[in-house]
């Protein structure tokens, strides 16, 4: 069993958020809960369990944790360069707060199907704040990067992507979104092509990501359009305490 304070989610909610993982079916969850409530006084606890571990899932349900989403883990081996010929955009690392500002604007309205947005117990605005905080973390972290896709003629930031580099060999794809007016265009796929090429140029050959099953169009894009393969799945349940 692993328990940690989720600093960013706590900042977004304004109350303590804990992440619980690797729970075993025979763990004494009642005792674990008493201990973390006494120490942290959380408002919200998120528990992640492998979808195959019914024992752990049922244990969480028995103690008042409610299902919020399932997550698909996918990976891909980068071989050939993605074709970005004919796309009049440039893909560049964000290195200034001025260039970060339009990305934060995109993030404020781009995500509407995440578990914080659809949760009736989470106040409005928390999800948007949460995503902005995660992007700001990537901007500041040594092992993470924020990229933007810029129209070469107008200079407009039309999309962004973030990822984390691990051991200079593999990358975890984190967040990505396009401006609202491009939601029904190929822009999501185009921006990911540029990101994969950028990673490939850095010597990265293995990439992976986690996608909510709510985002089935995105999952289809990753599998059919990029060549990702499903490695596994997990379920996320949460318990609301309303304190903190």
DSSP symbols for 84-135: -TT--EEEEE--SHHHHHHHHHHHHHH--SSHHHH-TTSPTTHHHHHHHHHH
Q: In the prediction, which pLDDT does 186 show?
A: 87
Same domain, 123 and 62: no
User: Is the predicted pLDDT of residue 154 greater than 70, yes or no?
Assistant: yes
pLDDT digits (tens, 9 = 90+) for 3-31: 999 999 999 999 999 999 999 999 999 99
Same domain, 39 and 107: no
Same domain, 19 and 60: yes
Share of the chain above pLDDT 90, in %: 82
Question: Is position 215 within any domain?
Answer: no
Could you list the residue range(s) of the whole structural domain that residue 168 is in? 80-204
> Any idea what the CATH number is for the domain that residue 151 is in?
3.40.630.30
Q: How many domains does the chain have?
A: 2
pLDDT-based confidence at 168, cuts 50/70/90? confident
Nearest to 188 by CA among 177, 200, 201: 177
Share of the chain above pLDDT 70, in %: 99
User: Is the predicted pLDDT of residue 233 greater than 60, yes or no?
Assistant: yes
The rounded distance, in Å, linking the Cα atoms of 137 and 131 is 10
Question: Is position 173 within any domain?
Answer: yes
The rounded distance, in Å, linking the Cα atoms of 139 and 199 is 17
Q: In the prediction, which pLDDT does 243 show?
A: 67
How many CB atoms sit inside 10 A of residue 183's CB?
Answer: 11
Q: In the prediction, which pLDDT does 208 show?
A: 94
Q: In the prediction, which pLDDT does 33 show?
A: 98
Question: Is position 6 within any domain?
Answer: yes
Question: Is position 178 within any domain?
Answer: yes
User: Is the predicted pLDDT of residue 60 greater than 90, yes or no?
Assistant: yes
Same domain, 91 and 62: no
Same domain, 102 and 61: no
Q: List 67's β-bridge partners, or say none.
A: 237
Distances (CA, A) of 178 to 76, 111, 185, 186: 22, 10, 9, 10
Q: In the prediction, which pLDDT does 216 show?
A: 80
Same domain, 15 and 87: no
Same domain, 53 and 97: no
Question: Is position 224 within any domain?
Answer: no
pLDDT digits (tens, 9 = 90+) for 62-83: 999 999 999 999 999 998 899 9
Same domain, 133 and 154: yes
CB 44 within 8 A of CB 239: yes
State the pTM of this model: 0.92
Question: Is position 210 within any domain?
Answer: no
User: Is the predicted pLDDT of residue 235 greater than 80, yes or no?
Assistant: yes
Same domain, 60 and 84: no
Question: Is position 35 within any domain?
Answer: yes
Q: In the prediction, which pLDDT does 184 show?
A: 79
Question: Is position 227 within any domain?
Answer: no
């Amino acid at each position: 069993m692993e328990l940690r304070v989720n600093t960013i989610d706590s900042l977004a909610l304004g109350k303590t958020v804990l992440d619980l993982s690797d729970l075993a079916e025979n763990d004494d969850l009642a005792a674990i809960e008493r201990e973390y409530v006494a120490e942290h006084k959380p408002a919200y606890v998120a528990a992640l369990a492998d979808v195959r571990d019914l024992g752990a899932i049922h244990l969480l349900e028995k103690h008042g944790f409610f299902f919020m989403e399932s997550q698909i883990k996918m990976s891909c081996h980068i071989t050939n360069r993605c074709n970005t010929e004919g796309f009049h955009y440039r893909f560049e690392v964000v290195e200034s707060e001025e260039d970060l500002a339009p990305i934060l604007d995109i993030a404020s309205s781009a995500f509407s199907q995440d578990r914080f947005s659809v949760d009736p117990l989470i106040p409005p605005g928390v999800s948007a704040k949460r995503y902005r905080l995660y992007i700001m973390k990537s901007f500041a972290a040594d092992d993470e990067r924020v990229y933007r896709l810029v129209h070469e003629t107008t200079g407009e930031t039309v999309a962004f992507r973030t990822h984390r580099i691990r051991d200079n060999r593999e990358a975890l794809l984190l967040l990505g979104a396009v401006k609202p007016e491009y939601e029904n265009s190929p822009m999501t796929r185009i921006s990911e092509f540029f990101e994969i090429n950028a990673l490939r140029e850095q010597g990265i050959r293995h990439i992976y990501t986690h996608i909510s099953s709510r985002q089935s169009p995105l999952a289809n894009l990753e599998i059919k359009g990029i060549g990702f393969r499903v490695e596994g799945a997990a379920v996320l349940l949460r318990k609301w305490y309303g304190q903190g």
